Chain A
């Protein structure tokens, strides 16, 4: 029996989907104590239609299989569901969204182009000081320092196109630095 993990921000709860084939195109799925008897028709273009044979409800939906993810469009909402490798299903391995900054690593919160870099390697920066200005789809975004620290690395250049979550700048916390010096 495998587990389904429902992950949301820092809240993660485990859920199981139990699938059993009755006959061709007919299956039962049990999720969170709810049992569905479903008949499924999948289209090649991402469209799909399920029929709940218990209630005769028609459930049109769209799906997209992408790497370890299923994107599902259902009743006007999008669900992103990740397949979990049951052999290494530790919660740490499945962090759903990487934080923008972790231990002073500043990442691009959106894909876009680097317009300006307002700091340099070795610079001492205070929290909330603007470090990078980027642009995406006519929207300008100023990325500020999350902490008081020292710029140890600049991983982007002006005019560069970056992907979402790309590392832009690395910072080291001031206290950490001081401690190193003390040692």
Chain B
């Protein structure tokens, strides 16, 4: 039984893990950088230790400092959250070396799955479908050309240590091949210190479908159904849901079995995610295994009515999974939107400042996992994700309606967020139809100008009222923030009149 657990993370995920620990009667230990001294994850914790520093390298990525604090605080285990050190095998090993349980899979599994070439080899061996491709000595350009011809263009060059689209190139024809391999290798070297790349067939219009898996230390591995994460921007997921509207019960069963097979083949323990891509003909291929709790885990928690963090802790304490595959039922529909501090009207550039007004929506079937509150300072130092908004209902349509309501009742002032943009995506007819793929945001201009123009006069009227305290007649300039890049409605407003 754990008495005390250190959370080697910050923001919403640290808050979320803290809540489950406390519910289980376990003390939650927070660590924080100079910037995070007054942040919500510290406020929620039972004990908090300073990392003395401001850069990530000096703080949340500093293995030595974190292990030292864990020893001083006498914790039984460390939960790494996601990002930062969560998929770093050296960190998992350092925990074990210090006699502290690492809440996650073993260091060797993390290392194997972190190497995309090794991971793909392991999956091929386990008979999990993989994207046709090649890996080997990249200086043997003639052989690569042969392979690329065989699998057919376009092909994708990917980095072995890859992630987030770095070290990735789409190659349309043989003439581009050699140069793409070189530049992808260079980029991978700069980003990950590892220049190895491999080749894969480029799947057109794929859907991103991932399966949550869970393994215990007694050899049991089950899956907790899928999440569809096809709505992405620059390889970054922004909306996730479960179930996926792409899967039939037969395909779901097949993919679930493949995910469990993948987990068993590598001796997976704790929470993990097997990512697949699904092509237009509903063929699925292994993409990668994420050896940690995912950002989008609340989607799964909603449809299976469970707590994945609690299950992670129980498994880490050596307990057997309390359920078998047949006990897991996918019930209802859940959608998650990632709330980012960014300006969709200005290239999605990050927005910083103080959350002067911040009020989360509440209600049945509405969950907000957040790392901020009114008054929080949003700095340039960390990921722009403020919170995750999850809605749950019986059907996809009902979950969509609930999400639209919740987004409309999520006021944030002081910084710019993507809330209104998310509303337009969710409300888009193609998203509603469920016929989505990872290029959705490139294909459709989702900005809803009618919605933006609807309340224009009212907004001015209300501003006039607020100004009225100072002057009887207000004098205002309106800059409709939601509208910057979409000019056409504004070309039609020539009827503004002087009275």
**Chain A residues engaging chain B, CB cutoff 8 angstroms:** 1-9, 11, 13-21, 27, 29-34, 36, 38, 40, 42, 45-48, 50, 59, 61-66, 70-86, 89, 94, 96-97, 109-113, 135-139, 141, 161, 164
B429 on the A face (CB < 8 A): no
Are A8 and B468 in contact (CB-based, < 8 A)? no
Are A32 and B350 in contact (CB-based, < 8 A)? no
Are A78 and B465 in contact (CB-based, < 8 A)? no
B487 on the A face (CB < 8 A): yes
A-B contact count (CB 8 A): 247
Binds A, one of B39-47, B213-221, B294-302, B474-482: B474-482
Chain A residues whose CB sits within 8 angstroms of the CB of B459 once the complex forms: 72, 74, 79, 81
Closest to B349 in A: A110
Closest to B407 in A: A76
Interface code B442-482, partner A: CB below 8 Å = 1, 0 otherwise?
00000000011011111111111111100111111111111
Complex CA–CA separation, A123 to B419 (angstroms): 43
Interface size class of B (residues with CB under 8 A): 35 or more
Closest to A13 in B: B496
Closest to B417 in A: A78
Report the minimum CB–CB distance from B336 to chain A (whole Å). Answer: 18
Are B483 and A8 in contact (CB-based, < 8 A)? yes
Report the minimum CB–CB distance from B369 to chain A (whole Å). Answer: 18
Are A9 and B487 in contact (CB-based, < 8 A)? yes
Are B498 and A76 in contact (CB-based, < 8 A)? no
Are B478 and A65 in contact (CB-based, < 8 A)? no
Are A31 and B457 in contact (CB-based, < 8 A)? yes
Q: List 27 A-B contacts (CB under 8 A).
A: A3-B498, A5-B476, A5-B477, A5-B478, A7-B479, A9-B487, A11-B490, A15-B476, A15-B496, A19-B473, A21-B472, A31-B460, A31-B461, A46-B357, A63-B357, A70-B467, A71-B357, A78-B413, A78-B416, A79-B455, A79-B478, A81-B477, A82-B478, A84-B475, A136-B350, A137-B381, A138-B383
Are B413 and A64 in contact (CB-based, < 8 A)? yes
Chain A residues whose CB sits within 8 angstroms of the CB of B455 once the complex forms: 74-75, 77, 79
Complex CA–CA separation, A164 to B346 (angstroms): 12
* CB-contact partner of B461 in A5, A8, A29, A42, under 8 A: A29
B411 on the A face (CB < 8 A): yes
Are B493 and A13 in contact (CB-based, < 8 A)? yes
Q: A3-B498, A38-B461 are in contact. Are A77 and B413 (CB under 8 A)?
A: no
Chain A residues whose CB sits within 8 angstroms of the CB of B452 once the complex forms: 77
Chain B residues whose CB sits within 8 angstroms of the CB of A75 once the complex forms: 408, 454-455
Are A83 and B477 in contact (CB-based, < 8 A)? yes
B347 on the A face (CB < 8 A): yes
Are B477 and A32 in contact (CB-based, < 8 A)? no
Chain A residues whose CB sits within 8 angstroms of the CB of B499 once the complex forms: 1, 16, 18, 30
Report the minimum CB–CB distance from B107 to chain A (whole Å). Answer: 25
Closest to A30 in B: B499
**Chain B residues engaging chain A, CB cutoff 8 angstroms:** 341-342, 346-347, 349-352, 356-357, 359, 374, 380-384, 407-414, 416, 419-420, 423, 451-452, 454-468, 471-484, 487, 490-491, 493-499
Closest 7 CB pairs of A and B: A17-B464, A76-B408, A82-B477, A2-B475, A110-B349, A29-B461, A13-B496
Are A17 and B357 in contact (CB-based, < 8 A)? no
Closest to B461 in A: A29
Complex CA–CA separation, A80 to B356 (angstroms): 14
Are B460 and A81 in contact (CB-based, < 8 A)? yes
Closest to B483 in A: A8
Are B382 and A8 in contact (CB-based, < 8 A)? no
Report the minimum CB–CB distance from B454 to chain A (whole Å). Answer: 8
Are A6 and B460 in contact (CB-based, < 8 A)? yes
Q: A4-B474, A139-B349 are in contact. List 12 more A-B contacts (CB 8 A).
A: A2-B471, A6-B460, A8-B487, A15-B478, A30-B499, A32-B495, A46-B413, A77-B482, A79-B456, A82-B476, A83-B474, A136-B380
